[in-house]
């Protein structure tokens, strides 16, 4: 639960920072409604840099340096977010693998039970067939002859 909260906080920080880079005109004019504390700090830092640049007769170089710092900060946040997502996905993949292994073991056990039942049924059927042939040998010979005759008739019509 703590990892999920950390992920959410970092995602909010990253999305707030990305919004700052996507809309540079808003850096000096208006604050977006959904900024996190980190996003507000970044925005305040960039506003202070641009205000200082104006007061000090600032240059384009100062503004570029400020933007480069923000980009570097975003890169660090994205790297941290990717690391957390990777760790979380590794944990979830282990859990999914364990569930799959358990499911496979259950399926294999049921397959073995079914095979055992089929083998017992086959053995029982074989015993009954042998007993019937021994008890009624003439009926068995007649049934085999009738089956052979029917089979021969079907093949001769082709």
- pLDDT per residue as tens digits for the range 53-112: 555 555 777 778 888 888 999 999 999 998 888 888 888 988 899 999 999 999 999 999
pTM given for the model? 0.38
Greater confidence (157 vs 81) lies with 81
Q: List the chain domain ranges.
A: 2-156
Q: What local confidence, expressed as pLDDT, does residue 91 receive?
A: 86
* Lowest mean pLDDT segment, chosen from 37-41, 86-90, 130-134: 37-41
Spatial distance between the Cα atoms of 128 and 133, rounded to a whole number of angstroms: 9
Q: What local confidence, expressed as pLDDT, does residue 28 receive?
A: 43
Q: What local confidence, expressed as pLDDT, does residue 141 receive?
A: 93
Residue in 86, 90, 4, 68 with CA at minimum distance from that of residue 12: 4
pLDDT in tens, 10-36: 666 666 655 554 544 444 444 444 445
């Amino acid at each position: 639960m703590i990892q999920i909260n950390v992920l959410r906080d970092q995602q909010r920080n990253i999305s707030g920072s990305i919004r700052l880079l996507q809309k540079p005109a808003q850096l000096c004019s208006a604050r977006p409604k959904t900024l996190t504390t980190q996003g507000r700090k970044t925005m305040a830092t960039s506003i202070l840099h641009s205000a200082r640049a104006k007061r000090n007769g600032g240059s384009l170089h100062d503004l570029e340096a400020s933007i480069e710092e923000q980009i570097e900060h975003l890169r660090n946040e994205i790297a941290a977010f990717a690391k957390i997502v990777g760790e979380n996905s590794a944990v979830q993949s282990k859990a999914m693998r364990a569930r799959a292994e358990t499911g496979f073991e259950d399926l294999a056990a049921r397959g073995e039970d079914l095979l055992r039942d089929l083998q017992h049924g086959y053995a029982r059927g074989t015993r009954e067939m042998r007993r019937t042939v021994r008890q009624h040998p003439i009926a068995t010979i007649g049934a085999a002859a009738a089956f052979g005759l029917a089979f021969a008739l079907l093949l001769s019509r082709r």
